[in-house]
């Protein structure tokens, strides 16, 4: 969402970033799932997709593929399909 939201509109809100999610030594389960499914995107899309997936799984632990695609739809990647990303979110949901 950081690409879609003016910084001033986040004033007073909690802001999570990929840098605060996991580490190389101890990645977040969603980060592990994206690596396992080769769901690689550019440096703009990948953080947005991972954080969108984390947010989705917090509210919907077992999402349908349609719910996953809807959650990722705010990331406007023009490069690839979202097949591996959807698979990664599905894998993370199974943990
Ligand atoms: S991977 Fe980022 S624009 Fe496509």
Out of 36-45, 62-71, 74-83, pick the least confident.
74-83
Residues 34 and 46 sit within 8 Å (Cβ to Cβ): yes
Residue 15 maps to a domain? no
Task: Assign 92 a pLDDT band (cuts: 50, 70, 90).
Answer: very high
Is residue 11 domain-resident? no
Structurally, the chain folds into a number of domains equal to 1
Instruction: For residue 87, give the CATH number of its domain.
Output: 1.10.150.120
CA dist 87 and 93 (Å) reads 10
- Of all atoms in ligand 1, which is nearest to the CA of residue 80? 4
**pLDDT, tens digit (0-9, with 9 covering 90-100), for 18-63:** 889 999 999 999 999 999 999 988 888 899 999 999 999 999 999 9
* Domain span at 86: 26-93
pTM, two decimal places: 0.87
Residue among 34, 38, 41, 75 to mutate when testing ligand 1 (max atoms within 8 A of CB): 41
C-alpha dist (Å) from residue 83 to 35, 39, 69, 80: 14, 8, 9, 8
List, in order, residues 6 or more apart from 35 with CB less than 8 Å away. 27
User: Would you say residue 73 lies in a domain?
Assistant: yes
CB 34 within 8 A of CB 90: no
6 assigned to some structural domain: no
pLDDT band at 3 (very low <50, low <70, confident <90, very high): low
pLDDT at res. 36 = 97
The answer to whether residue 66 is domain-embedded is: yes
78 ligand 1 Cβ < 6 A: yes
């Amino acid at each position: 969402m950081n690409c879609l939201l003016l910084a001033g509109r986040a004033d007073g809100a909690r802001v999570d970033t990929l840098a605060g999610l996991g580490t190389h030594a101890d990645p977040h389960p969603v980060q592990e799932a994206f690596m396992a499914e080769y769901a690689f995107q550019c440096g703009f899309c990948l953080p947005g997709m991972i954080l969108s997936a984390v947010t989705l799984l917090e509210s919907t632990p077992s999402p349908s593929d349609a719910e996953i695609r809807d959650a990722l739809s705010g990331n406007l990647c023009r490069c690839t399909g979202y097949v591996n990303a959807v698979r990664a979110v599905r894998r993370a949901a199974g943990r």
